[in-house]
Chains A and B, each alone.
Chain A
Amino acid sequence: MIDFLNMDRKEIEEKLTDFLIDEFEIDEEKIYPEAKLKEDLEIDSLDFVDIAVMVEKTFGFKMRPEEMTDVKTLEQFCDYIQAKMK
């Protein structure tokens, strides 16, 4: 059983990084807080469908597109996940 409530920031970052490396096959050196999801990591609209599956399984909440409008970078994405988990 995943303990969603007690997941700290570092753990969120690690899980997200692992997912991007293992599932999206993104080079590790491309993954840094300021990296832009679309421009730098080349994540497209179809990829967000798969990210939503991962988020629900890993972090236990449903990602909503309307909440994602201001999420542009990896750091902002971690902020979003952390805020949703509180």
Chain B
Amino acid sequence: MDFALSPADIATLWLTLKLATTVTLILLLIGTPLAWWLARTTCIFRSAVSALVALPIVLPPTVIGFYLLLAMGPQGWLGQAMQALHLDLLPFTFAGLVVASVIYSLPFVVQPLHNVFAAIPESFLETAASLRASAGDTFFSVVLPLAKPGVMTAAVLGFAHTVGEFGVVLMIGGNIPNQTRVVAVQIYDHVEAMEYASAHGLSLLMLVFAFVALLLLYHFNSTGRRK
């Protein structure tokens, strides 16, 4: 079989990489304060927010995709808001994919961050405060360095999960070359067209990528702990 990648395959790979990188960065920016809040707050809405964040883990991706499509569409609340601001509608655009992927991969970033934040003893924060560090200063000088393994895990899981998504992409983004056609969709297309060799090439690449990503993650975390 010929595993060689076509230019179209390469384009989907680049698009996937661009999507996953953008989503991971956004998720780290949103997920970090959210996870920190979840780990420390005593607010009564804590459980509700936790459950909401975790929804994508248990829901079929098509369900999330369906509701996002409704919300982003011309009749949806998000769509209406976008139109009111004279912005383009999100469905079937790269931006739409980013928004959907952020929601879909959110729990995979928030949960490892939450775990590592919750494990940091309150006494470290109090000690930092007694040494004149404000809450923000403490977060950057004590919390984040101690949470490094969790941040790594969150980034790798968020990235890998975005690379691997399929259902949400299909619902929101469709299958537009260079805009929304990611690797998972391209593989599906190859299989539909009975192009098994091309499907193999991409699938094998994905398999190796996922394995290497997880291998690096476990390796990093176990050496981090030993130290």
Do A and B interact?
no
Residues of chain A whose beta carbon lies under 8 Å from any beta carbon of chain B: none
Residues of chain B whose beta carbon lies under 8 Å from any beta carbon of chain A: none
